[in-house]
Structure 1
């Protein structure tokens, strides 16, 4: 009997039994040999240490959809290191589910959950104890597991216990936030002594047939050895020269939800903008005083705690389009039928070097047209002195426990990649070396720090508008997992324009 798309009933039955056949026949996108090896494994825990673009996301989507389509009532949970990554992965799964031979099987689709007509569910969530603790899963996938906290993993792992035949897939680029982190330990164990319970694989970027070998060789010749080894060879490195040590950064990380601009309702923030040039992205990072509901009052009686409520980067986006996006994010004016949206940006610091000068001028023009003002926009020259001051202020707050960072792998990678160099005149250069990687998000955060007061300014008590359960950084700072900024203008200081001087 021939079914839709020329398939026979035997084809469908084979696809239900075998994910490799499912990928080829039902999705029309066959798996590569290195992916097939993982799929064919009988190990209950499968762990992959992978380089960039090695094929992790495609494997996730195939395994997730195969489980959901082939077995009615299945539960698939994909846990990702951050909110942005979780949305990206869900978009890939949802798009794959709409392939012609699978179309019509999805009966409900939200921003994070796909429900099929056979009662199966695929859910993509950012890493947090609340998101995983009450779930059940026949297939648990942890994306960028090296960036997921030990506490989240300990909450997630038991969810497979009550589902017979359940499986776990962990994959990540190399990153060890603390010694003995579960991902590195499990991967090493599975490589050294694979068993029916645990098996591991090593995927350098070159394992993918899609990777351009000539380009990869060029990256090897033009990148620092540590960067190439970590990002493309998928090997752990010891980067003792980092300005922000990994453990110091991870102690400031908490699993909280960022506040999208369309839900900000005029929330107060300062912003930094870094314009993309050649290999970097345009980047926008906001910093706010944290509405912690006095959770940290005993620890910080006179000092505010700061956090990053929103950040965004855009590769290959024209400056004019990114300027419109920045103006949209910082537009707190009420819109007809929608109420107040956007952030109130007390200060916006934008890089004025090179291409930045005309971009800042256009940003002022567009802000004046949409906001009715442009007084809070300052152009900043990113000199060595400015970077030393900005990154120094950021590190001071991190060490004090007064800066909470999101679990955003790209931001954390960039901060960790910053190195220091003492200059002949006694100054200091802090930068991501040209042959190491990007620094757009890190520099945008540094720009925003120009408006943040690090000194005590007196503690305040407000009725808390933050929502959700209490979460904590490893360093012990408490906050709600749906935090909102405090409206306290005194937490910020007026920066000086960065034309003739880079003083703040």
Structure 2
């Protein structure tokens, strides 16, 4: 598809022309304002489906295309998001008039024929500290911690004319860098910082009448945050935002394919009409005794792995859970998978046949007595499970990954006092999903929260950690390494306190 010299030069100069002519997807008016802004820092607070990803791709590809040797770096809040964004950018780069420009493509980097590069990475100081960039894009910046931002921001210092684009749904306390920069750019826009507010309705693809129906059946806080892109306070949230942020650390999740028998308890939540099938693992953190002074008698727990699958048949998700726990003690060396002493699976309603299928598959594949227990998620069970989780978080003994969906679901949990004096904890139907949150809660039925004299015993044995990487710290001060592994300390788990059809604790 030939182009005139004039068209080519216009595309190099103007990202709006580039999007239209080279990619074949013109920008909408609200996107044009951002890509043509001369501000060094461009900051967007956006609702769902407002068009952030297309702006990322256009700016990254235009930067790389405009001059040889240019570098665009896209930092995402998590590894899954980084892979998703890279897939979108890579797809855009295959447009007919750009297809011949890509010289090489890895799992996270595009190299153009002019020597320019586009790289997508998760928020990790190791990933961004030594990088250089002419364009730095931070996706879901509200979920990116201050120390990662402080590592990422300098990558543009030594590149003349470099720019920064920050975008996120509303998340973060008043002092968070994203929220501060966005407010600055809204109040006093100048050549340094300019901000935009994109509610979902700004997109011409959004059905306004359908959006109004969502508003009518949604809780006000939820709709304001997710669709109007407004910050909301904690309201009736069971887990305040500050409490959750205090438990979060930036560490690498350990895929089952790379695990070699590390022990963990698993929680499974089945997706029905709205939610996804979810699997969450909880293990004892091998912290290398970094927290020995702070928690001398008790282990610290963490989430080494989690996943969710939308619209996946139960049979396929059952097979996935079994493969995650494939490791068998005493079997041949070199096998992969977690060692799961207990799997707590939701058995309410349609979950019962799925639990039975999981039991049968586990018995057939694992070759041992099945550790699968059905859990009836009653109000009493959820109060106990989430209560135990919150206790560990408040004590600094539970470390959560910086996983936006998990954090949003935990923050969306609301409390309601019942007429009989009890309490209900749930994500209301008109607020959002709770699949990952409930799967994590189910794990707590097997977690011992009391003291266990672990560190004294380990010190006597001359303990040496198997975790690796740089030191990290949660907002509450719990320390860990950036590539943690579970500690082989199964005494931290017990026979589940939630039996089939019961809610005993």
Structure 2-normalised TM-score? 0.95
Does the alignment pair 1:69 with 2:65? yes
Query: Which position in structure 1 is the counterpart of 2:440?
Result: 445
TM superposition shift of 1:10? 2.5
Query: Which position in structure 1 is the counterpart of 2:231?
Result: 236
TM superposition shift of 1:368? 2.0
d(CA) in 2 for partners of 1:348, 1:43:
52
> Does the 8 Å contact 1:333/1:341 carry over to 2?
no
Query: Which position in structure 2 is the counterpart of 1:314?
Result: 309
Query: Which position in structure 2 is the counterpart of 1:79?
Result: 75
d(CA) in 1 for partners of 2:225, 2:169:
7
How many residue pairs align between the two structures? 498
Relative to structure 1, is the Cα distance of residues 106 and 333 closer, same or farther in structure 2, using a 3 angstrom cutoff? Answer: farther
Which deviates more, 323-332 or 195-204? 323-332
The equivalent position to 1:122 in structure 2, one of 118, 123, 130, is 118
TM superposition shift of 1:129? 2.3
Unaligned runs of 5+ in 1: none
Does the alignment pair 1:296 with 2:291? yes
d(CA) in 2 for partners of 1:448, 1:399:
18
> Does the 8 Å contact 1:146/1:173 carry over to 2?
yes
Query: Which position in structure 2 is the counterpart of 1:501?
Result: 502
SS in 1 for 2:49: coil
After superposition, the C-alpha distances for 1:151-205 in whole angstroms (9 at most, x for unaligned) are: 22122212211100000000111112x3321111111111122111111111000
Which deviates more, 120-129 or 477-486? 120-129
After superposition, the C-alpha distances for 1:292-331 in whole angstroms (9 at most, x for unaligned) are: 1111111111111100001111112221221121112121
TM superposition shift of 1:100? 2.6
Which deviates more, 209-218 or 494-503? 494-503
> Does the 8 Å contact 1:381/1:499 carry over to 2?
yes
Does the alignment pair 1:42 with 2:49? no
> Does the 8 Å contact 2:287/2:484 carry over to 1?
yes
d(CA) in 2 for partners of 1:409, 1:145:
11
Relative to structure 1, is the Cα distance of residues 497 and 235 closer, same or farther in structure 2, using a 3 angstrom cutoff? Answer: closer
Query: Which position in structure 2 is the counterpart of 1:101?
Result: 97
Query: Which position in structure 2 is the counterpart of 1:483?
Result: 484
> Does the 8 Å contact 1:387/1:446 carry over to 2?
yes
The equivalent position to 1:14 in structure 2, one of 3, 10, 19, is 10
Unaligned runs of 5+ in 2: none
Query: Which position in structure 1 is the counterpart of 2:265?
Result: 270
Query: Which position in structure 2 is the counterpart of 1:150?
Result: 146
Query: Which position in structure 2 is the counterpart of 1:361?
Result: 356
- Please give the root-mean-square deviation of Cα atoms over the aligned residues, in Å: 1.7
Does the alignment pair 1:51 with 2:52? no
After superposition, the C-alpha distances for 1:463-502 in whole angstroms (9 at most, x for unaligned) are: 2111111111111111110101111111111114533421
TM superposition shift of 1:6? 3.4
d(CA) in 2 for partners of 1:341, 1:179:
43
SS in 2 for 1:266: strand
SS in 1 for 2:319: helix
Structure 1-normalised TM-score? 0.96
Query: Which position in structure 2 is the counterpart of 1:28?
Result: 24
After superposition, where does 1:132-281 map in structure 2 within 5 Å?
132-176=128-172, 178-281=173-276
TM superposition shift of 1:149? 1.1
Which deviates more, 422-431 or 355-364? 422-431
The equivalent position to 1:431 in structure 2, one of 417, 426, 433, is 426
d(CA) in 1 for partners of 2:255, 2:6:
47
